[in-house]
Structure 1
Amino acid sequence: MKDILSEIIAHKRIEIELQKQAVSLERLQEEVAAMMQKDATAGTSVAIPVRSMKQALASSPTGIIAEFKRRSPSKGWIHETARAEEIPAAYETAGASAVSILTDEKFFGGSLQDIRMARPLIGIPILRKDFIIDEYQLLQARIVGADAVLLIAACLTQEECATLTARAHALGLEVLLEIHTFSELAYVNADVDMVGVNNRNLGTFVTDVKNSFHIAEKLRQIPARALDSSDSPSLPLLVSESGISHPETICRLRAAGFRGFLIGETFMKTRRPGDALKDFISPLRS
């Protein structure tokens, strides 16, 4: 079967280079520096996210990260006419703890404009979900108003992941590190804010929620001292991603140690994703 992830990353490298030709890295750095200076003048520390996704999930009884996406490589168009100025706000009203917004255009039908549209309309954290391989994308995320970014272990070396994590933190962005296999547990350390276990194989896009339970069990076997450090005493929060379609699955995942649950197609395939989330979340609150 064709490796979809390799195709996406190859295209992403070309896409980023074209973006840099249109708007230079230096120009983005200047724009972010001006934003950070403005924050400092207002008394806001840029090292602390305006909206912490990790805290939002940890304090939520449901922990749902509702995803906004129009299509996927495996399913094609899911909700082609979805509007970023409507659905994220409906998600917040329905009780989402955070919103994930796909910004990849070619494979998922999204854009950074979707975050720009949603940001002033909602108060909960926004995750920029994309295939991030370059600092340029972190700067973009900061400029459009994201609070956290997704880093995918399968797309990066451990060194690249550590560098991007440090740079994201310097910009005031939290990091959700996505892993899928046991071997990628080597990427997990206390510098990462959240660890997402993807139940979808990014090479084949086959989904199995059992992957979360298997990875969580493996994580519990890692000595706490291996993940902890004196500089960053809090451990990553666990997030289960993809393949969750029933509230009872969330109850089982919470028992296994997960506090965040990223759900997209279950809601987006309906005409009114906000209402679908409301119905989904109801039994979790009873």
Structure 2
Amino acid sequence: MNILDKIIQRKKDEVTFSKSKISVQQLKDSEFFDRKGFSLKETLKSKSGIIAEFKRKSPSKGIINDKVSPVEVVSAYENFGASGISVLTDLDFFGGSFDDILNIRNQVHIPILRKDFMIDEYQFYEAKAIGADVILLIAACLSPQKVQEFTELSHELGLEVLLEIHSEEELNHINKHIDFVGINNRNLKDFKVDLQHSVDLKNQLPSDILSVAESGIYSEEDFRFLKEKGFDGFLMGEYFMKDENPGNTFRNFISNVTS
């Protein structure tokens, strides 16, 4: 069983437990459920293109940074030009929680991506209830039919959809309603990073869809390479979070790649 399989198995148990504690109706009655979301489609084009991530740890790297405040970090991300914020909400493998989004929702005025392993309709109501604007669908753990169903549900709830792929086989998960296709530079099964593989996949995407390079962007040179190859967005977390002051690292990065 690879790490992705372990995460999905744990996620099934987690969702079952959550359903037993909070009903969908209770989620619908929450503070943020009826708010109009911010559009990542709009901010990707008008700002830096970077979706800056708040992430404490990962299965491949262990603890990255568990000392900083989500509000402090994401406020700096916004102030220095991030197009959006990505927040891990998986607890067991990434050290995240719903509170990380709940605590920042009223502090930033750009889109928030709930980054998690979405396998059940219930999770989309959760995402809306905690104030997310965008959700992630991972092709590696969903069928094309499920991607279609979850995309339709997301749009009904006012959520945009980032579909993540990593292989040619997963290109058939793309449907005309997807808002963005993210290409993960890191293989979720063995965590190897290959930027050229991502570029090759990007060249096979429909010409009218926004593309996001995800993960494994470790330098300004990596960013420039992917930007030159035509990616519209860049989801980056570890590069900033590994510093004791992620906001300053983000500011310096933006300054250097835009100068």
Task: Classify the TM-score, shorter chain.
Answer: over 0.9
Select 1:272's aligned residue among 227, 245, 254: 245
Per-residue deviation, residues 97-124 of structure 1 (Å, max 9, x unmatched): 1110000000000001100011111111
1:218 deviates by: 2.3
Verify the 8 A CA contact 1:239 1:261 in the aligned structure 2.
yes
Verify the 8 A CA contact 1:9 1:131 in the aligned structure 2.
yes
Verify the 8 A CA contact 2:148 2:175 in the aligned structure 1.
no
Per-residue deviation, residues 55-104 of structure 1 (Å, max 9, x unmatched): 111223x3111100100001111112232121111111122111100000
Aligned partner of 1:45 in structure 2 is none
TM-score, normalised via structure 1 length: 0.86
Aligned partner of 1:228 in structure 2 is none
Q: Are 2:68 and 1:95 equivalent residues in the alignment?
A: no
Verify the 8 A CA contact 2:31 2:129 in the aligned structure 1.
no
Q: Are 2:157 and 1:182 equivalent residues in the alignment?
A: no
Select 1:236's aligned residue among 183, 186, 209: 209
Verify the 8 A CA contact 1:247 1:281 in the aligned structure 2.
no
Verify the 8 A CA contact 2:32 2:131 in the aligned structure 1.
no
Select 1:147's aligned residue among 133, 142, 152: 133
Aligned partner of 1:3 in structure 2 is 2
Verify the 8 A CA contact 1:209 1:242 in the aligned structure 2.
no
Which stretch shifts more, 123-132 or 276-285? Answer: 276-285
1:254 deviates by: 2.2
SS class of match (1:120): coil
Select 1:57's aligned residue among 34, 44, 67: 44
**Separation in 1 of the partners of 2:32 and 2:68?**
33
1:35 deviates by: 4.2
SS class of match (1:270): coil
Q: Map residues 26-175 of structure 1 onto 2, 5 A cutoff.
A: 26-28=25-27, 30-31=28-29, 35-36=33-34, 50-60=37-47, 62-175=48-161
TM-score, normalised via structure 2 length: 0.95
Give the alignment's Cα RMSD to 1 decimal: 1.7
**Separation in 1 of the partners of 2:85 and 2:212?**
13
Counterpart residue type for residue 112 of structure 1:
F
Counterpart residue type for residue 7 of structure 1:
K
SS class of match (1:101): strand
215 and 26 in structure 1: CA distance in 2 versus 1, 3 angstrom threshold: same
Unmatched 5+ stretches in structure 1: 40-48, 225-234
SS class of match (1:85): helix
Q: Are 2:224 and 1:251 equivalent residues in the alignment?
A: yes
SS class of match (1:262): strand
Larger Rg, first or second structure (1 or 2): 1
SS class of match (2:127): helix
Between Structure 1 and Structure 2, how many residues are aligned?
A: 259
SS class of match (2:254): helix
Verify the 8 A CA contact 1:32 1:142 in the aligned structure 2.
no
**Separation in 2 of the partners of 1:12 and 1:140?**
14
Verify the 8 A CA contact 1:198 1:211 in the aligned structure 2.
no
Q: Please identify runs of 4+ aligned residues in structure 1 that moved more than 6 A.
A: none
**Separation in 2 of the partners of 1:248 and 1:34?**
39
**Separation in 2 of the partners of 1:32 and 1:207?**
39
Unmatched 5+ stretches in structure 2: none
Counterpart residue type for residue 53 of structure 1:
L
**Separation in 2 of the partners of 1:275 and 1:33?**
32
Aligned partner of 1:20 in structure 2 is 19
SS class of match (1:67): strand
**Separation in 2 of the partners of 1:196 and 1:254?**
14
SS class of match (1:218): coil
1:135 deviates by: 1.4
246 and 183 in structure 1: CA distance in 2 versus 1, 3 angstrom threshold: same
